[in-house]
């Protein structure tokens, strides 16, 4: 073992390639992983000295860019006090400060906060809240969830079960997952004007299975990893009505859309509806570390705690990690003090203008933009390695996924960098489209 460690400095990437998993990767034939030495602003600096504009915000999270002095200071200050203590029987100011901010920012009745360590866990917590709520009320048959084709809610078993049932990501496990119910993907915002009949099948499924349903879970406005699909806010209004009529709990998974990405602080604001439970993650700490939160209303929280066993049965080891909470509060303050709305709008316009050139290409199926999200959908799946190499050669970091080449840059990106990002996307689309 010491041998291994001693040899490391010279050739750590080779060692890493052989021994360390990457997301959705092969351990036998891994695609290249580019070694990053540091990151600052919107740029990733590779070990070989090259610099890449990060068009991914490290999967929606680094909204302020990297190495931000305010976030660094928040982490350092908190580090000097304590980086972590258990949350069972102990508490701390960073948790209270962050909870206050989340309650303030999310729609009014959501005021009971559960902190966890990642988005998937926040979804598990939301599902368990709904299950325990009905259990406590004696409605023990309500054990299933209704969700949507094309949805994505995370990689843990419970979250997978409510994610798209056929999509490549999760179909493998379908035999072992709880069989949930699925409604059709909400129709695309661009292809059809909203019509309440679009919910007909959803209404039928919800009504038919009313007695066994605990709730409905959906990503508001944007289905992310399930296809970067945008749909109409009125859909959510009708969905809220349906849940009220049928007495179902409505869960919004805002893990990707939260903190300004779609142009409003939370996507739910654009529909003017309030869910019973909301999940937050990704940009919560500005991309500094893993933290997530599940918020619910008082009535759901007290409902859960009325029955047997009288407590909510979840409690991760790193619950409400003080370091992560402190950075999250600083990130929220930074966001609110910044002209984020104008920035997201400017990015939206830049993406719209910058991606137009490829919209008519024969290999391109669709180009769509919402807030600070820009998507080029191809007719054929992209070759990840080849596409990524072409992007990196031109100084841009993106991770193509299936037929999609998409970007959600940090809000601080300036117009030159944004233009370079979209120009490069267009160039590479043309290059790989043939
Ligand atoms: C990323 C994501 C998750 C899972 O979050 P992790 O932190 O990766 O576990 C869940 N829901 C949505 C909508 C996401 O985008």
Q: Residue ranges of the domains in the chain?
A: 12-67+339-432, 71-337
- To test the pocket of ligand 1, the residue of 60, 63, 152 to mutate (highest count of ligand atoms within 8 Å of its CB) is 152
pLDDT by residue, tens only, the chain of 434 residues: 567 777 677 789 999 999 999 999 999 999 999 999 999 999 999 999 999 999 999 999 999 999 999 999 999 999 999 999 999 999 999 999 999 999 999 999 999 999 999 999 999 999 999 999 999 999 999 999 999 999 999 999 999 999 999 875 667 887 888 899 999 999 998 887 899 999 999 999 999 999 999 999 999 999 999 999 999 999 999 999 999 999 999 999 999 999 999 999 999 999 999 999 999 999 999 999 999 999 999 999 999 999 789 999 999 999 999 999 999 999 999 999 999 999 999 999 999 999 999 999 999 999 999 999 999 999 999 999 999 999 999 999 999 999 999 999 999 999 999 999 999 999 999 998 86
In eight-state DSSP terms, residue 10 is H
Residue nearest to atom 5 of ligand 1 (CA): 119
What's the pLDDT score for residue 322?
Answer: 98
Ligand 1 lined by 285 (C-beta under 6 Å):
no
**12-67+339-432 with 71-337: one CATH topology?**
no
The catalytic residues are 24, 152, 253, 282
Question: Which atom of ligand 1 is nearest the CA belonging to 159?
Answer: 10
Ligand 1 lined by 119 (C-beta under 6 Å):
yes
Ligand 1 lined by 413 (C-beta under 6 Å):
no
Distance 32 CA to ligand 1 centre (A): 24
CATH number of 71-337: 3.40.640.10
Ligand 1 lined by 152 (C-beta under 6 Å):
yes
Q: How many CA atoms lie within 13 A of 164 on its CB side?
A: 18
Ligand 1 lined by 281 (C-beta under 6 Å):
yes
- To test the pocket of ligand 1, the residue of 58, 220, 282 to mutate (highest count of ligand atoms within 8 Å of its CB) is 282
Radius of gyration of the chain, Cα coordinates, nearest whole angstrom: 22
Residue nearest to atom 6 of ligand 1 (CA): 119
The CATH number of domain 12-67+339-432, selected from 3.90.730.10, 3.40.50.300, 3.90.1150.10, 1.10.10.10: 3.90.1150.10
Distance CA 174, CA 10 (A): 43
What's the pLDDT score for residue 434?
Answer: 67
Distance CA 359, CA 376 (A): 8
What's the pLDDT score for residue 169?
Answer: 60
Distance 255 CA to ligand 1 centre (A): 6
Question: Which atom of ligand 1 is nearest the CA belonging to 120?
Answer: 9
Distance 21 CA to ligand 1 centre (A): 18
Distance CA 158, CA 128 (A): 9
Ligand 1 lined by 217 (C-beta under 6 Å):
no
Q: What residues form DSSP beta bridges with 215? A: 145, 249
Ligand 1 lined by 225 (C-beta under 6 Å):
yes
Ligand 1 lined by 219 (C-beta under 6 Å):
yes
What's the pLDDT score for residue 22?
Answer: 96
Q: Helix crossing, 93-105 with 322-337: angle to 10°?
A: 40
Ligand 1 lined by 283 (C-beta under 6 Å):
no
Strands (E), 35-142: 36-40, 43-46, 51-54, 110-116
Distance 81 CA to ligand 1 centre (A): 30
What's the pLDDT score for residue 307?
Answer: 76
What's the pLDDT score for residue 10?
Answer: 73
What's the pLDDT score for residue 168?
Answer: 59
Q: How many CB atoms lie within 10 A of CB 328?
A: 30
Residue nearest to atom 11 of ligand 1 (CA): 153
277-280 and 249-253 strand pairing:
parallel
What's the pLDDT score for residue 327?
Answer: 99
């Amino acid at each position: 073992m010491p041998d291994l460690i001693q040899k490391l400095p010279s050739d750590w990437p080779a060692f890493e390639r052989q021994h360390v998993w990457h997301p959705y990767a092969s351990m036998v034939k891994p695609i290249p992983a580019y070694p990053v030495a540091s990151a600052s602003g919107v740029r990733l600096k590779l070990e070989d000295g090259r610099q890449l504009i990060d068009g991914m915000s490290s999967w929606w999270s680094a909204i302020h860019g990297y190495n931000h002095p305010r976030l660094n200071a928040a982490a350092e200050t908190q580090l000097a006090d304590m980086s972590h203590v258990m949350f069972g029987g102990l508490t701390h100011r960073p948790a209270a400060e962050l909870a206050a901010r989340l309650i303030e920012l999310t729609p009014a009745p959501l005021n009971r906060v559960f902190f966890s360590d990642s988005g998937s866990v926040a979804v598990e917590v939301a599902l368990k809240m709904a299950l325990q709520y009905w259990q406590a009320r004696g409605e023990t048959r309500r054990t299933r969830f209704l969700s949507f084709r094309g949805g994505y809610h995370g990689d843990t078993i419970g979250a997978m079960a409510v994610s798209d049932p056929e999509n490549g990501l999760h179909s493998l496990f379908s035999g072992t997952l709880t069989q949930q119910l699925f409604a059709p993907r909400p129709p695309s915002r661009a292809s059809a004007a909203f019509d309440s009949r679009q919910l007909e099948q959803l209404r039928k499924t919800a009504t038919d299975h009313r007695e066994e349903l605990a709730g409905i879970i959906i990503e508001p406005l944007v289905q992310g990893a399930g296809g970067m699909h945008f749909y109409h806010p009125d859909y959510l209004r009708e969905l809220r009505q349906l849940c009220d009529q049928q007495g179902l709990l409505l869960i919004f998974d805002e893990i990707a859309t939260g903190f300004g990405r779609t142009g409003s602080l939370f996507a739910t604001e654009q529909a003017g509806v309030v869910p019973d439970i909301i999940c937050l993650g990704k940009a919560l700490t500005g991309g500094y570390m893993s933290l997530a939160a599940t918020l619910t209303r008082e009535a759901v929280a007290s409902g859960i705690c009325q029955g047997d066993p009288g407590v909510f049965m979840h409690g991760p080891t790193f619950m409400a990690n003080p370091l992560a909470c402190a950075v999250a509060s600083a990130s929220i303050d930074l966001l609110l003090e910044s002209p984020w709305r104008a920035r997201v709008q400017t990015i939206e316009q830049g993406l719209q203008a910058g991606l137009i050139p490829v919209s008519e290409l024969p290999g391109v199926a669709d180009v769509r933009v919402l807030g600070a999200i820009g998507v080029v959908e191809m007719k054929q799946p992209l070759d990840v390695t080849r596409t990524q190499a072409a992007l990196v050669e031109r100084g841009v970091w993106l991770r193509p996924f299936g037929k999609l080449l998409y970007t959600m840059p940090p809000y601080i990106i300036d117009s030159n960098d944004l233009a370079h990002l979209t120009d490069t996307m267009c160039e590479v689309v043309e290059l790989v489209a043939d």
